[in-house]
Amino acid sequence: MRSSQALSTKRVWRLAQWAQATINGRARRLIALVTATLAGMSLVTAFAATASAASLPPAPGVTPGATVAGATRDLVYTATDGSVWLKNVTSGTSTPTRVGGRLIGGPSAVFDGNAIVIFGRGTDNRLWDVSCPSVTVCGAWQPLGGVITSKPGAVGKSRMIYSVYARGTDGAVWGRDYNSGWGRWYKVGGQVLAGTGPTAAYLDGTYVMVVGTDKHMYIEKQGVTGFSPAGGTTTADPALTMVFGTAGAPNSLVGFARGTNGVGYYHRFLATSPGWRSMGGALTSGVAAVSDVSAAIPDTYTFGLGTNNQIYENSATWAPNPSFEGWVRVTG
């Protein structure tokens, strides 16, 4: 029989071995965890650097948005991964800024006097917005609720007063106004073609234009008239903006749309020669349009995707007659 001292010594030795093995195992697991974490951090850092160094191209067929902030024209578009990008197109050399988010369809934008406010339909089908004090600095996306089924259309009325419109689940136009805070959703009416969204412009009141279920366009002065035919035929998002006269004051509206043949068209409302007329191009998306009041001769600028899925701009002067410069590539 072994002595109790020998048994005690063996137990101590075995306990020491078990403890050392446990420590070694934990150490190995800890080293593996740290190594994996560091590797993951390296991958995240590398991915972030790649994403910020190179801008993503516009998503095919998705209508861009645009606004004028002071003396600059700012383009906003949805990229191939659903994220939003913002670009100053006045300089012609600026690099797009990633605004983030994840949208279904294209964005819309207004300048509220202090910041560019961008709107979009989130993957939850709610309306979202984000405020960008400059084309390189943006805040966080915020939900504005509702259940929308189209690209939103936004319009600025005066400093810090603006509205946004979208197609609802019932096919009608719904709107929401901002004036020192957001008001409730309200029904504007009409029946909008699925896959298209409303557009709006301000000229002694808010005008809303849509594509009806018959693929023709309709326009109304909100709260004053109902929707009335505006002619033309399209299956993509239209655009509406103001036009300036020879005195530099807004005197009429002009609508823009992609025809069923892919060509861009315009229609000057309240003109002596109304009707939709060609402005050329070969478009694969709907259009966005803005007016630049800061120019010596006020212009309009129309944006749309070309057949190469890059965004093009076509500027025009309107006094006394419309004169288009032609489509110029502004992305890629």
Residues 84 and 210 in one domain: yes
For 43-90, how does the pLDDT look when each residue is reduced to its tens digit (9 = 90+)? 222 222 233 448 899 999 999 999 999 889 999 999 999 999 999 999
CA distance 258 to 280: 10
Could you tell me if 153 and 251 lie in one domain? yes
List the domain range (segments joined by +) for residue 274.
56-329
Q: Which residues, including other chains, have CB under 8 Å from residue 309's CB and lie 6 or more apart?
A: 57, 58, 59, 60, 61, 284
Cβ-in-10-Å burial (0-12, 13-18, 19+) of 65 comes to buried
Residue 182 sits in the same domain as residue 38: no
Say what percent of the chain tops pLDDT 70.
Answer: 80
- Looking at the structure, tell me whether residues 134 and 4 fall in a common domain: no
Query: Whose CA is closest to 128, among 116, 145, 113, 111?
Result: 145
Question: Are both 137 and 184 inside the same structural domain?
Answer: yes
pTM higher than 0.95:
no
Structural domain ending residue among the three candidates 54, 79, 96: 54
Domain check: are 41 and 94 in the same one?
A: no
User: Confidence band (pLDDT; 50, 70, 90) for 296?
Assistant: low
Question: Is there a single domain that holds both residue 177 and residue 104?
Answer: yes
The per-residue pLDDT for 170 is 98
- Summarize pLDDT for 174-197 with one digit per residue, the tens: 999 999 999 999 999 999 999 999
DSSP 8-state secondary structure symbol assigned to residue 273: S
CA Rg value for the chain: 28
One domain for residues 4 and 121: no
Q: Which of 270, 165, 273, 176 is nearest to 209 (CA)?
A: 165
Q: Which DSSP string corresponds to 302-319?
A: EEEE-TTS-EEEEEEE-S
pLDDT score for 321: 82
Looking at every residue in the chain, the average pLDDT score rounds to 84
Instruction: Check pLDDT > 80 for residue 33.
Output: no
pLDDT for the residue 6 = 40
- Can you spell out the DSSP letters for 41-74? HHHHHHHHHHHHHSPPPBPTT---EEEEETTEEE
Query: In three state form, how does the secondary structure of 235-259 look?
Result: CCCCEEEEEECCCCCEEEEEEEEEC
**Residue 4 pLDDT grade (very low, low, confident, very high; cuts 50, 70, 90):** very low
State the pLDDT confidence band at 2, using cuts at 50, 70 and 90. very low
Q: Are residues 208 and 170 in the same domain?
A: yes
- Cα 325 from Cα 226, distance rounded (Å): 35
| The pLDDT of residue 32 | 37
Listed residue (199, 108, 220, 202) closest to 157, CA to CA: 202
Task: List pLDDT tens digits, range 194-213.
Answer: 999 999 999 989 999 999 99
C-alpha–C-alpha distance, residues 329 and 38, integer Å: 42
164 plus 284 within the same structural domain: yes
User: How sure is the predictor about 250, in pLDDT bands with cuts at 50, 70 and 90?
Assistant: low
pLDDT at 20 over 50: no
Q: Give the CATH number of the domain where residue 317 resides.
A: 2.120.10.70
Last residue within a domain, chosen from 35, 54, 73: 54
Whether residues 89 and 168 fall in one domain: yes
Rounded-to-integer distance, Cα 166 and Cα 120, Å: 10
Cα atoms in the 13 Å half-sphere on the side-chain side of 69: 25
Domain count of the fold of the chain: 2
- Residue 297 corresponds to which amino acid? I
Q: For residue 138, is pLDDT > 90?
A: yes
One-letter amino acid at 203 equals L
107-121 confidence digits (pLDDT tens)? 999 999 999 999 999
pLDDT band per the 50, 70, 90 thresholds, residue 92: confident
Q: What angle do CA 170, 231, 321 make, to 5 degrees?
A: 130
> Could you read off the pLDDT of 251-275 as tens digits, one per residue?
789 999 999 999 999 999 876 667 8
131 and 276 in a common domain: yes
